[in-house]
């Protein structure tokens, strides 16, 4: 049980790292800043939904 929660913490850290990475990439790639922020928000929504599914399936 403890091992599973440790893995979950690592996954969450990885996800947050990916969010930061994506934010940099999206904002740098997209010339239109408003459009890039919309994409970033879409990514955040998607990732938070994934995290919600993870937490429900693992019963954290």
- Write out pLDDT tens, residues 6-25: 878 888 888 888 888 887 77
Contact predicate 30/42, CB 8 Å? no
Total tally of structural domains belonging to the chain: 1
Contact predicate 58/49, CB 8 Å? no
Domain span at residue 30 reads 2-58
This prediction's pTM:
0.41
The Cβ-side half-sphere exposure at 54, using a 13 Å CA radius, reads 15
**Helices marked H in 1-60:** 2-29, 33-58
Contact predicate 34/41, CB 8 Å? no
- Write out pLDDT tens, residues 23-43: 777 767 766 777 777 877 888
Q: What is the mean pLDDT of residues 43-49?
A: 82
């Amino acid at each position: 049980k403890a091992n599973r929660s440790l893995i979950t913490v690592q996954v969450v850290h990885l996800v947050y790292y990916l969010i930061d990475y994506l934010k940099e990439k999206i904002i740098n790639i997209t010339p239109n800043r408003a459009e890039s922020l919309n994409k970033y928000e879409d990514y955040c929504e998607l990732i938070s939904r994934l995290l919600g599914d993870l937490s429900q399936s693992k019963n954290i």
